[in-house]
Amino acid sequence: MHKTVTKLADGRELIYYDTEPASRDAVDRRPLEPAASVSEIRVDPFTGDAVTVAAHRQARTYHPPADECPLCPSLGDRLSEIPAEDYQVAVFENRFPSLASSSAEHVAPWSDGPYALAPGTGRCEVVCFTSDHGAAFGDLTEERARLVLDAWTDRTAELHTRPDVRQVYCFENRGADIGVTLGHPHGQIYAFPFTTPRTAQALDRVAAHQRETGRNLYDEVLAAERSTIGAEDSRVVLAGEHWTAFVPFAARWPYEVHLYPNRRVADLTGLDEAARAEFPRIYLDLLRRFDRLFPEPAPYIAAWHQTPRPAEVELALHLELFTIRRTAGKLKYLAGTESGMGAFMNDIRPETAARTLREL
């Protein structure tokens, strides 16, 4: 991997990742003024969950035509967020971030009785997987998918060194049904100044299991799933030498797969070379199976779960991949029970979903 760091016209950082050294000296010619982030983090007094309020994001780019895509390379007078005429993988600071260190300049910490508010510091980045506007992650070669993995790993390592960052979250939203506003194949990285609610809940469960049994919950779950490989009702979809993909026992979504390295690590930086080498084949296979589920490409979310820093308990690195479509032409809406109570109702048995994905 070869990394080139430069700046956009408004001072935001842009990083190119290439498989081989490349000239990346193109200059951003847009007349941009530095943007101010005024995000707030408010704490729910009943749950303790942090909620980010970022009203300035209402003006962000929304479904531009393909010839005005801000993630495509800059060509001639068509200037985008990427000044180069071509690129392999590019990462840059979001122009409309939910979290940014500059929020500390505009928002003061405040508390009054049951209420508490803090500046929404941290960082939000956009990860462009390819310069090809019409492609998808599943269309990448294994070499290019490995480059994306290396970029995620590099960003995780660097962002974890920032004093205002506690948890690094790499993810991809794919498809208009998910709410994606830019059609170009891309993902995002959120560097949170707090531990996210779902991670905090998982860490509490892992800590309790360790106290009660002396064993690691992630190790037990992975061992239980791998012990069923080859069985008719196995929830394992793919099993490699270094990775295992399975439908979780209590899947919330009709088609949901968790991808674990067979050797437990805290985050992407802990993967060894053997796991990194095998990941592209396994992950691309999974994405292509998802795209064969329905007549049209499946909208999905791919979410990396990593250990916050510092943390008393270790979260096992894993990726959760799920689609919000339950069958052809029908979405799985988060309706009354899910949105109102957080109580998920799944229309498909996890064992059936796993068998379907294996057969694809």
Give dist(CA 218, CA 248) in Å, integer: 12
Residue 101 CA to residue 13 CA, distance in Å, equals 13
Structure tokens at 267: 């985050």
Q: What share of the chain is helix, strand, coil (3-state, %, to 5)?
A: 30, 25, 45
Q: Identify the burial level of 146 via C-beta atoms within 10 angstroms of its C-beta, where 0-12 means exposed, 13-18 middle and 19 or more buried.
A: buried
Let me know if 184 is a catalytic residue: no
DSSP 165-188: -SEEEEEEEESGGGT-S--SSEEE
- Find residue 128's DSSP bridge partners: 90, 186
First to last CA, the chain: 33
List strand residue ranges (DSSP E) for the chain, in order: 2-7, 13-18, 40-43, 50-53, 89-93, 110-112, 115-119, 123-128, 167-174, 186-192, 236-239, 243-246, 255-261, 300-305, 318-323, 325-327, 330-331
Cα dihedral 349, 350, 353, 358, rounded to 10, equals: -140
Please name which of 271, 351, 343 lies closest in space to residue 306, comparing C-alpha atoms. 271
Which of 56, 186, 258, 318 is the catalytic position? 186
The residues carrying an active-site annotation are 186
